[in-house]
Amino acid sequence: MRATDIIGKKRDGGELAAEEIRWFVNGYTNQEIPDYQMAAWLMAVYLRGMSHRETVDLTLSMAESGDQLDLSPVIDFAVDKHSTGGVGDKVTLVVLPLVAAAGVPVAKMSGRGLGFSGGTLDKMESIAGFRVDLNDDEFLQQVRDHGIVLSGQTKSLAPADGLIYALRDVTATVSSLPLIASSIMSKKLASGADAIVLDVKVGMGAFMKRRDDAAELAQIMVDIGTSAGRQMVAVLSDMNQPLGSAVGNALEVREAIETLRGGGPEDLRQHCVAIGGHMLRLGRQDTSTYAMAQSMTEITALMDNGAGLAKFRELVEAQGGDASMVDDPDRLPQARLRDTIHAPMSGYITQVNALLVAQASLELGAGRARKTDPIDPAVGVMVHCKVGDRVEKGDLLFTIHANDDARLARAQDYLLRAPVFRSREEQPLPMFYDTIYGNK
Ligand code: URA
C-alpha cells in the first residue's frame, strides 16, 4: 500500500477499505507515515466525510493502536460515562460514587480540561493528595477492592488518538464529526467499557453549538459503540447556561459534595439522576423502561441517604486524597478575593451565556489555554441565576472567587455580558433534548 494512494482515494470521495485505514493509522503511530501525509489525509476526511463503516474502522484502528485495558478479571460488566465537555459539568464526581454505591462497579479514565471546558482530573486534584496517575495494576486493584476508581488515561491507551488529535489541532481539522466521534470512542473502547453513557452537550458553552450537529455526533458514537458490541445510550443535554452553580475546580468539588449530601442545585441533581439512572440500568443489563424508573429512584435515594457521599469519601481515601476535605469542604482551597455582580435591572433572565461564564473562569485561572498552563484550584464563579428566573434590580447574579485583582477585573467584564434580561416572562431551558439508544 502507498500513503499517497490512500490520501488520493479519500480526496476524490472514495470509500477506504478497513485494511487501508488500519495500515494508515498504524503507519502514522509507528512514525512510518510523516505528519504531512497524515495532515493531508485528515483534511481530505474533513472535506469528504466518512461512511458509517469507515468511521467504525477508524475508531477500531485507533482503539487497537496501543494497550487495551481488560477489566474482565475484576468486573463482570463495566459501565462508563463520557461527557463531551461543558461549563460547570461536575456530573462524573456525583454519579460515579452513586452508581458504585448501588453495587455497580465503575472504573473511569478521565481527562484534563483544555479551553473553556473543565476536566474531571483537575477538579479532583483540588483535594490535597488525590492521585490521578494510577498504573494499570493499581487501577484494577482499586476497582476490585472498592468498586470505584477514577484516574488519568495512560499514554499507551489509544496512542494514535493522541498523535492525530495534536495534528488536527494545528491543521484546522478538529471539527469533523467522524474525527471527533472516532477520537472519543477509541479511548472509551480501549479503556474496557462494556456499556457507555454519552452526555453530548449542545449550546453556547459546548463544543457543538447546534442541535443537529450534536444529534449527528451522538448517533455516530452510538453506532460505533453498537457496532463494536457495546451497550450504548447518548443523551443530548443543554449547555447554553452553566450546569449547577459552581464553575471552577474546588468550587465544583464543593458543589458535588453538597449534591451527594442530598442538597445542591436542582438542575445538577436532576442531571445526575438521569445519567446515573442510565448507567445503573445498563450496568445491571436490564434495558426495560421500568428498570430506568427504578434506577432513577435508587440513585435519588443514594443521594439523599448519604451512601453516595460515603463512596466518594472512600474513593478519595483510596487514591491518597485528604478525606477531611470531604467531611469539611471549607478545607478545600479558597480564593483570597470575593466580588459580586448584581442585576442592573428587574426582569426575566433569558440568557446566562455559558461561554462567557467559562471565559471569566478561564481568566481567573481555573482553566488552561495551553496544555502546559498551571491552574488555580481555588478560583472560579458561582452563578446564582438561571434562564427563566425573575430577578429584581440589585439581586445577586454572580460571586467571583479570585486570587488576583487584574484577573478579577477581566472576569467581571465577561460576567457583566453573560446575562440577558427581558420584561416578558421566560421559560426555563430544557435540561435534555433527546435520548438515543443503541439497542432499543
Ligand atoms: N474530545 C476528544 O476526545 N476528541 C475530539 O476530537 C473532540 C473532543
Annotate 168-235 with DSSP letters as a single string: HHTTT-S--HHHHHHHHHHHHHHTT-SEEEEEEEESTTSSB-SHHHHHHHHHHHHHHHHHTT-EEEEE
The whole-number pLDDT of residue 371 equals: 73
The whole-number pLDDT of residue 286 equals: 79
**Can you give 37-104 as a three-state secondary structure string?**
HHHHHHHHHHHHCCCHHHHHHHHHHHHCCCECCCCCCCCCCCEEEEECCCCCCCHHHHHHHHHHHCCC
Reply yes or no on whether 182 is catalytic.
Answer: no
Pocket of ligand 1 (CB under 6 A): 165, 179-180, 183-184
The whole-number pLDDT of residue 116 equals: 66
Ligand 1 pocket test, candidate residues 180, 185, 198, most atoms within 8 A of CB: 180
Angle, CA of 84, 264 and 131, to the nearest 5°: 55
CA distances from 40 to 37, 44, 158 (A): 5, 6, 21
Ligand 1 pocket test, candidate residues 165, 170, 171, most atoms within 8 A of CB: 165
| Torsion angle in degrees (nearest 10) through CA of 119, 122, 123, 124 | 120
For residue 111, give the ligand 1 atom closest to its CA: 3
Which one-letter DSSP state was computed for residue 154?
Answer: P
Q: Which one from 57, 161, 238, 389 is the annotated catalytic residue?
A: 161
The whole-number pLDDT of residue 435 equals: 97
Amino acid residing at 256: A
The whole-number pLDDT of residue 30 equals: 95
Return the C-alpha cell found at 189. Answer: 473502547
The whole-number pLDDT of residue 115 equals: 67
State in Å: Cα 41 to ligand 1 middle: 18
427/390 Cα distance (integer angstroms): 10
Going by CA atoms, what residue is nearest to atom 2 of ligand 1? 184
Return the C-alpha cell found at 116. Answer: 473553556
State in Å: Cα 45 to ligand 1 middle: 16
Give the closest residue to 281 by CA, choosing from 270, 296, 269.
296
The whole-number pLDDT of residue 117 equals: 67
Ligand 1 pocket test, candidate residues 175, 184, 189, 201, most atoms within 8 A of CB: 184
Reply yes or no on whether 161 is catalytic.
Answer: yes
**Predicted model pTM:** 0.95
Going by CA atoms, what residue is nearest to atom 7 of ligand 1? 180
Which domains are assigned to the chain?
Answer: 3-63 (1.20.970.10), 79-155+162-327+433-437 (3.40.1030.10), 334-422 (3.90.1170.30)
For residue 187, give the ligand 1 atom closest to its CA: 3
Reply yes or no on whether 82 is catalytic.
Answer: yes
Half-sphere exposure of 47 (CA within 13 A, CB side): 14
**Can you give 249-308 as a three-state secondary structure string?**
HHHHHHHHHHHHCCCCCHHHHHHHHHHHHHHHHHHCCCCCHHHHHHHHHHHHHHHHCCHH
Give the closest residue to 214 by CA, choosing from 244, 231, 234.
234
The whole-number pLDDT of residue 164 equals: 94
The whole-number pLDDT of residue 373 equals: 81
The whole-number pLDDT of residue 290 equals: 80
Return the C-alpha cell found at 142. Answer: 482499586
What is the DSSP code string of 299-366? HHHHHHSSHHHHHHHHHHHHTT--THHHH-GGGS---SEEEEEE-SS-EEEEEE-HHHHHHHHHHHTS
Q: Which one from 22, 82, 254, 271 is the annotated catalytic residue?
A: 82
Going by CA atoms, what residue is nearest to atom 3 of ligand 1? 184
Going by CA atoms, what residue is nearest to atom 5 of ligand 1? 180
State in Å: Cα 171 to ligand 1 middle: 15
Going by CA atoms, what residue is nearest to atom 8 of ligand 1? 180
Angle, CA of 73, 84 and 40, to the nearest 5°: 100
CA distances from 249 to 112, 240, 244, 318 (A): 11, 20, 13, 20
Q: Which one from 187, 201, 384, 407 is the annotated catalytic residue?
A: 187
Task: List the chain pLDDT tens, one digit each, 440 residues.
Answer: 999 999 999 999 999 999 999 999 999 999 999 999 999 999 999 999 999 999 999 999 999 999 999 999 999 999 999 999 899 999 999 999 999 999 999 999 987 766 666 789 999 999 999 999 999 999 999 999 999 999 998 888 999 998 998 899 889 998 899 999 999 999 999 999 999 999 999 999 998 999 999 999 999 999 999 999 999 999 999 999 999 999 999 999 999 999 999 999 999 999 999 999 999 999 998 777 788 999 999 999 999 999 999 999 999 999 999 999 999 999 999 999 999 999 999 999 999 999 999 999 999 999 887 777 889 999 999 999 999 999 999 999 999 999 999 999 999 999 999 999 999 999 999 999 999 999 75
